[in-house]
Structure 1
Amino acid sequence: MRETRQIVQLWQQGGASVLVTLVRAEGSSYRRPGARLLLGASGEYTGTISGGCLETEVVRKAEWMVRNGAIVERYSTMFDDPADIPFGLGCGGVVDLLLEPANTPECQALMAALEATVAGEDLTVLTWLPRDGRELQRAILDANGNYTFASDRLTEPELVAVRATVLGRDNVNGAPVGIFEERILAPQRLFVLGAGDDAKPLVSMAALLGWRVSVADGRAQLTRWERFPEADRVMTVSKGSYGTLGIRTNDAIVLMTHSYEQDRDLLAAVLPVRPRYLGLLGARHRSSLLMSEVAGMLKWTVAECCAQVYAPVGLDLGGDGPEAIALAVIAEVQASCMGKPGASRRLLPEEVERHVREGGGTRYLPVQCAMDVA
């Protein structure tokens, strides 16, 4: 989401020329569908659509490639015959890139949608990819499934049919062939409840990911903007005003006030919301006492409380100090919110042998990645 913010910022400066979107990936790919790159008026760009292998080549040719309108271009190293492959990747995958002029109503609508998601909206973008003589067309649905934009050439029956498909009434497999569907979500919201010095690296790391961060504490001397310049909100809250935080079920919360009373009262206030992630900083015996007290306050069982709280907070990464703790916490929040276990993905010997055996004579094309040093 930080990358989306940067793309929006470049767009807002004016003069953008080409928007590049990764719309399909097969095999190994550094980025997944939905990754973008925006080319500015002076040749500058922001965003990435590979690990660095493609950007230089794409930026160099982008304006020329869209001189007649939007196109989809394929880049691959999966075949021995490079006759139809315009450029090589160092990753060993196949990617399709949509390149579109920035001055079209469709591109302007997409950029407005990205602005809206950065501001907190969830949207669905449907792009009819240019193919078989058909020009690029686009439609955008809000969180309630209502169209906020549709290309002039899209007919009402077509829009009605694809809307029903995307909303899952007719087809659970998503958009029809030839339509690139994106669910663009608002940035993850993180509430850091506790404004001590150890909260600073946590806020910085969350901001680096593009999350919207709110910092709150009951001690006014700690909740000063200059202490958390990367936060979206810095608030002083008292016991009776926890409701003003506006915490929702899809939010992430890290409780780290270092005050037993504050932690207890905040935990009792936020647990009934059942947020997406709730982590509690502190030693195991301290967290056990807190959970026991809060269970009594809420008339919940201890098991119900434990099922909702990550305590002690953070993955077991090792290390010491505020930065190491912040890294462990951010990693756990990311894994939890993305539905991932957070386990290592390192190669095993038998996996290497299987890939080599099943790959047969397949080889990478003898091309040089733009990131390679001569």
Structure 2
Amino acid sequence: MTERQQIVGLWRRGGTRVLATLVRVEGSSYRQPGARLLLGESGEYAGTISGGCLEGEVTRKASWKVREGAVLERYSTIFDDTDEIPFGLGCGGVVDLLLEPVETPECEALLAAMERSFSGEQATVVTWLPGEGRLLRRVVLGTDGEVIFASRDLSEKKLGCARDLVPGEAYEGRFVEKLLAPQRLFVLGAGDDARPLVTMATMMGWNVTVADGRAQLARSERFSGADRVVVLGGGGLRDLGIRAEDAVVIMTHSYEQDRALLAELLPVAPRYLGLLGARHRSSLLVSEAAEIAGLSVEECCQRIWAPIGLDLGGDGPEAIALAVMAEAHAMCMGKMGSSRRLTAEDVSRYVSEGRVSRYLQRQCAVDIAS
């Protein structure tokens, strides 16, 4: 997502000439279909299409190749010492690149759709690839299938077929992609340990909101990369608009606040809901929040990630932020493997070991020893 922002930023500054899009991969490749490289007139560029082995070749020849319009070019990154110009050290694959001049209605429509995605307006883009006398054509569809842009010679039949295509699937002569909005992350807690987490999420291009009831901590100057910094009032999380597709991290270091936030979030069931704290503390929180929310402990354990973060090792706010961000990213990308999540049996065991009184004051409760 950060790459998309850089590409749109360069486009908006003006003076860009060619957009290169990776549309097909055969074998191994550093980047996947949808990766892009935007070239400027003065040699500047944004984005990447490989691990560095293709950028130089494309930069040198792209303007010449698109002098008569968009073209589809094939590049091999398989190392072959018989080639005069092997591309890099051999990623081991073959890639197809769509090269198109920026100053066309089709390219401008694509870049505009990329820009609108930052504000949450998702779109499906279907591109009919050029070749053998065929010109590049494109349609941009909204979330309800409405046509936002269509090349002038596209028939109603073509537009109807475009609506049935599945983003990410391979189609002969067509490239179909979905421009998603940035992943939203809500960091509930504005302590010093939240700052590296916000920084990392911002580097990933996520839309980040920091919220805390402590006005002295919830200040925008402490979280310069965040999209929003909010002081929570008596209304709780209602004004934040947290949805099921969002990621949320609870890290206030206050047992009472964590309990109230967790009880409010459990019915929402965010895509990722991480709870900072040791296993015993988190188990007590889950047991009480489950009762408040009217859910079983088992249901709650299926909806939260506690102890929070992948078990990467290390210590300190930066290491914890890395572990949390890695787990949240994996979950939001559908790549989550094994984890250290609590089970209902864990909660029962930890609850039986002691009461909550030890946590009824603000304190740091990082899960150092699990």
**Quick check: TM above 0.5?**
yes
Q: Specify which of 257, 265, 270 is matched with residue 262 of structure 1.
A: 257
Q: Which runs of 5+ in 2 are unaligned?
A: 339-370
Kept in 2, the 8 Å contact 1:21–1:34? The answer is yes
What is the CA-CA distance between 1:163 and the residue it aligns to?
Answer: 1.7
Residue 259 and residue 79 in structure 1: after superposition, are their counterparts in 2 closer, same or farther (change >3 A)? closer
Partner of 1:361: none
CA deviations on 1:250-278 (whole Å, 9 max, x unpaired) are 00000000011111111111111111000
The 3-state SS of whatever aligns with 1:240 is coil
d(CA) in 2 for partners of 1:204 and 1:78?
A: 37
Q: Percent identical across equivalent pairs?
A: 66
State whether structure 2 residue 211 is matched by structure 1 residue 201. Answer: no
State whether structure 2 residue 277 is matched by structure 1 residue 297. Answer: no
Q: Look up the equivalent residue of 2:254 and give its one-letter code.
A: S
d(CA) in 2 for partners of 1:242 and 1:252?
A: 14
What is the CA-CA distance between 1:164 and the residue it aligns to?
Answer: 3.0
* Pairs aligned (count): 339
Higher RCO (CA < 8 A, seq sep 6+):
1
Kept in 2, the 8 Å contact 1:110–1:125? The answer is yes
What is the CA-CA distance between 1:77 and the residue it aligns to?
Answer: 4.1
Partner of 1:17: 17
Deviates more, 1:77-86 or 1:194-203: 77-86
d(CA) in 2 for partners of 1:177 and 1:227?
A: 50
Q: Look up the equivalent residue of 2:69 and give its one-letter code.
A: G
Partner of 2:50: 50
State whether structure 2 residue 237 is matched by structure 1 residue 242. Answer: yes
What is the CA-CA distance between 1:147 and the residue it aligns to?
Answer: 1.3
What is the CA-CA distance between 1:85 and the residue it aligns to?
Answer: 8.9
d(CA) in 2 for partners of 1:331 and 1:162?
A: 35
Correspondence list, 1:63-74, <5 A: 63-74=63-74
d(CA) in 2 for partners of 1:248 and 1:264?
A: 19
The 3-state SS of whatever aligns with 2:175 is strand
Kept in 2, the 8 Å contact 1:74–1:86? The answer is no
CA deviations on 1:46-88 (whole Å, 9 max, x unpaired) are 1000001111111111111111110011111448697899856
Correspondence list, 1:351-362, <5 A: none
The 3-state SS of whatever aligns with 1:327 is helix
Kept in 2, the 8 Å contact 1:75–1:89? The answer is no
Q: Specify which of 194, 210, 217 is matched with residue 215 of structure 1.
A: 210
The 3-state SS of whatever aligns with 1:303 is helix
What is the CA-CA distance between 1:26 and the residue it aligns to?
Answer: 1.1
State whether structure 2 residue 276 is matched by structure 1 residue 281. Answer: yes
State whether structure 2 residue 129 is matched by structure 1 residue 129. Answer: yes
Kept in 1, the 8 Å contact 2:2–2:204? The answer is yes
TM-score of the superposed pair, with normalisation by structure 2: 0.88
Partner of 2:357: none
Residue 144 and residue 215 in structure 1: after superposition, are their counterparts in 2 closer, same or farther (change >3 A)? same
The 3-state SS of whatever aligns with 1:74 is strand
TM-score of the superposed pair, with normalisation by structure 1: 0.87
What is the CA-CA distance between 1:238 and the residue it aligns to?
Answer: 2.2
What is the CA-CA distance between 1:159 and the residue it aligns to?
Answer: 1.1
What is the CA-CA distance between 1:41 and the residue it aligns to?
Answer: 2.0
Q: Look up the equivalent residue of 2:67 and give its one-letter code.
A: R
d(CA) in 2 for partners of 1:267 and 1:66?
A: 55
CA RMSD of superposed structures (Å) = 2.0
State whether structure 2 residue 227 is matched by structure 1 residue 232. Answer: yes
d(CA) in 2 for partners of 1:51 and 1:89?
A: 10
State whether structure 2 residue 359 is matched by structure 1 residue 339. Answer: no
d(CA) in 2 for partners of 1:166 and 1:335?
A: 23
